[in-house]
Amino acid sequence: MSFTVRNRGSEERSAAAAGEVENRRYTRFCLSAPAIIRHEGVIIAGQLVNMSLSGALISSASRIPVHEGVTVTILNGARSDLLNELTATVMRTTEAGWAVRFDRVLLESREAWQVSPPVL
């Protein structure tokens, strides 16, 4: 899995230039990692495009309706238990996939604080 940091300031300027409001609480990290999504008992293969502490953008040929619940597992090879079985809600769809909001903010759990963040 590879990470790059997206500069929040430039996103806010880009959103402002487009007449949109950037309403993000957490920095997004552009990354590429395979993901497994479960929806109503069906397993769907996906690819993470970006991720923050509160959600992710997942690329997939499959479609899931907005406001549906899903479970996301990110296959990262190291300490996958922190990114395993993340319950989330589909918030919007795009031609390439969908954005999900995690039901809890990552790193809120006691175990997560004992793990070093990824090296960027």
CATH number of 2-114: 2.40.10.220
Residue 12: is its pLDDT beyond 50? no
Residue 11: is its pLDDT beyond 90? no
Per mean pLDDT, which range of 9-18, 68-77, 95-104, 107-116 is the poorest? 9-18
Mean pLDDT of the chain: 75
Q: What pLDDT is stored for residue 80 in this prediction?
A: 52
Q: What pTM was estimated for this model as a whole?
A: 0.68
Residue 118: is its pLDDT beyond 90? no
Q: What pLDDT is stored for residue 64 in this prediction?
A: 92
What are the pLDDT digits (tens) for 80-115?
Answer: 555 788 999 999 998 888 999 999 887 754 444 444
Instruction: Find out whether 21 and 31 touch, Cβ atoms under 8 Å.
Output: no
Q: What is the C-alpha separation between 92 and 101, in angstroms, rounded?
A: 10
Contacts of 58 (CB under 8 A, 6+ apart): 35, 37, 46, 47, 48, 49, 72, 97, 98, 99, 100
φ/ψ of 78, rounded to 5, equals -130, 130
